Amino acid sequence: MSNPEVAIVGAGPAGLMAAEVLSAAGHSVGVYERMPSAGRKFLMAGRGGLNLTHSEPFEAFAARYGEASTRLRPCLETFPPAALVAWAEGLSQPTFVGSGGRVFPRSMKASPLLRAWLARLAQQGVDLRTRRSWAGWSSDGALVFDAPDGAREVVRPRAAILALGGASWPRLGADGGWTPLLEAIGAPVAPFRPSNCGFDVAWSDIFRQRFAGQPLKGVALTFQGRTARGDAMVTAYGLEGGPVYALSGALRQAIADEGAARLVVDLRPDLSRDDLAARLAKPRRGQTLSSHLRRALKLSPVAVNLLREAHGLGLPAEEQALAGLVKAAPLDLIGVQSLERAISSAGGVAWTAVDETLALKARPEVFVAGEMLDWEAPTGGYLLQACFATGVAAARGVLAALDR
């Protein structure tokens, strides 16, 4: 298939979903992938359990995308979480709703789903060409790819979809290297920034050595009036984990603007300050303060020592003051982990560069999908859902353009 009707650049979830929609409609589709195989980041995302989407009500779901919610909403309405669940089950991958409303395949793995998906695409005639690195456009508007043998492959489709990913986990294929190609045609691209990432904390040496790799279970983290609950992880460099990721956009911006961000940690979010103070008022019976905190409040050693990192070695003796510290231990975040270590990225093709069908205004025959677009979301199924949904939306934009 030297010149398919539609060329899709990128074989991640957005690109493969677009290929499925277009090939099912009877169009010849070629998918061009830089890496030796398809879906590498998709497989990595499923290594600890593939979180496909989330089961919360649609209004709350759509709001998770923050500033991009308005532009993403039509895509999510076109292919909502229920549609993604039905699609996975149509590939013989039944799903279930796990803790916190997250939706997983019963296998908990990405590989069975990807194998079934690629088999379906092959049956629908999709031509997957790996080791093709997109090099931009020729002078007459054709797509140009660097092929494995060093030659250049020129493709002249009727329409194209770019689904090249963002800039996190670059070793898996998405490195944002396409940015100059888009900017050269007048399509603005917002700079990439790490999202769903860890943050640096200036731990003391003894805390770092003793507690790096240990979890802070069931905590609530608050920043700028927003609170996220879950398990955080102490690392040698600082702090990471689900509730940290949920606040990463605001934390990242504060650090960029002010050089630091003060995160407030509630180590016992299910108990009030007065409840904690009452427990702390019980006789110690010769116990050290650390032992008393562990026994009376069920704080882990890492949690007790985090209080000392936040306040200093001399913790308050008065019960209300100590309870207040347990409910609101301040931690100063002083840096952001790099894109290479981030789960996802913010930034990408600006929404002003595309129309309502996701077609580039500078090249109306070219559409954009997935993490290439400028949006970010927390973990919990929101990242994959938007990739799938924008892939469907871009494909439907192509179908409408071909009909015209």
Relative to beta strand 102-105, strand 53-54 is: antiparallel
Please tell me the predicted confidence (pLDDT) of residue 317: 86
Q: Alpha helices of 142-272 — where are they, by DSSP H?
A: 179-183, 205-211, 242-246, 248-258
Residue 129 has pLDDT above 80, yes or no: yes
CA neighbor of 127 nearest in space, from 24, 13, 8, 42: 8
Length of the chain: 404
Please tell me the predicted confidence (pLDDT) of residue 314: 86
Rounded mean pLDDT, 387-401: 98
CA neighbor of 393 nearest in space, from 89, 188, 161, 82: 161
Residue 330 has pLDDT above 80, yes or no: yes
Please tell me the predicted confidence (pLDDT) of residue 69: 96
Tell me how far apart the alpha carbons of residues 89 and 105 are, in angstroms, rounded to a whole number. Answer: 8
The CATH H-level (homologous superfamily) assignment of domain 6-193+344-403 is: FAD/NAD(P)-binding domain (3.50.50.60)
Residue 15 has pLDDT above 60, yes or no: yes
Tell me how far apart the alpha carbons of residues 102 and 72 are, in angstroms, rounded to a whole number. Answer: 20
CA neighbor of 163 nearest in space, from 180, 181, 178, 152: 178
Sheet holding 143-146, edge to edge: 133-137, 143-146, 152-155
CA neighbor of 238 nearest in space, from 258, 221, 257, 218: 221
Please tell me the predicted confidence (pLDDT) of residue 1: 52
Vertex 125: Cα angle to 124 and 126 (nearest 5)? 100
CA neighbor of 194 nearest in space, from 33, 32, 333, 35: 333
Please tell me the predicted confidence (pLDDT) of residue 150: 85
CA neighbor of 304 nearest in space, from 267, 337, 278: 267
The mean pLDDT value of the chain amounts to 95
Task: For 183-197, write each residue's pLDDT tens digit.
Answer: 999 999 999 999 999
User: pLDDT tier at 149 (50, 70, 90 boundaries)?
Assistant: confident
User: Tokens 């010149």 belong to which residue?
Assistant: 3
Tell me how far apart the alpha carbons of residues 19 and 392 are, in angstroms, rounded to a whole number. Answer: 9
Please tell me the predicted confidence (pLDDT) of residue 46: 74
Rounded mean pLDDT, 231-239: 97
Task: For 203-228, write each residue's pLDDT tens digit.
Answer: 999 999 999 999 999 999 999 999 99
Tell me how far apart the alpha carbons of residues 196 and 294 are, in angstroms, rounded to a whole number. Answer: 31
Residue 312 has pLDDT above 90, yes or no: no
Tell me how far apart the alpha carbons of residues 335 and 302 are, in angstroms, rounded to a whole number. Answer: 22
Do 358 and 352 meet the contact criterion of CB atoms below 8 Å apart?
Answer: no
Rounded mean pLDDT, 278-302: 91
User: pLDDT tier at 113 (50, 70, 90 boundaries)?
Assistant: very high
Residue 2 has pLDDT above 80, yes or no: no
Tell me how far apart the alpha carbons of residues 253 and 226 are, in angstroms, rounded to a whole number. Answer: 14
Rounded mean pLDDT, 311-315: 87
Residue 77, token pair as written in the block: 């309405």
Please tell me the predicted confidence (pLDDT) of residue 305: 96
Do 206 and 308 meet the contact criterion of CB atoms below 8 Å apart?
Answer: no
Do 30 and 129 meet the contact criterion of CB atoms below 8 Å apart?
Answer: yes
Rounded mean pLDDT, 95-119: 95
Do 69 and 60 meet the contact criterion of CB atoms below 8 Å apart?
Answer: no
CA neighbor of 382 nearest in space, from 180, 101, 78: 101
Rounded mean pLDDT, 315-325: 93
- State the amino acid at position 220 in one-letter form: A
Task: For 342-384, write each residue's pLDDT tens digit.
Answer: 999 999 999 999 999 999 999 999 999 999 999 999 999 999 9
For residue 29, the 8-state DSSP code is E
Do 88 and 29 meet the contact criterion of CB atoms below 8 Å apart?
Answer: no
The domain spans of the chain are 6-193+344-403, 199-336
Cβ neighbours of residue 77 under 8 Å, at least 6 residues apart?
A: none
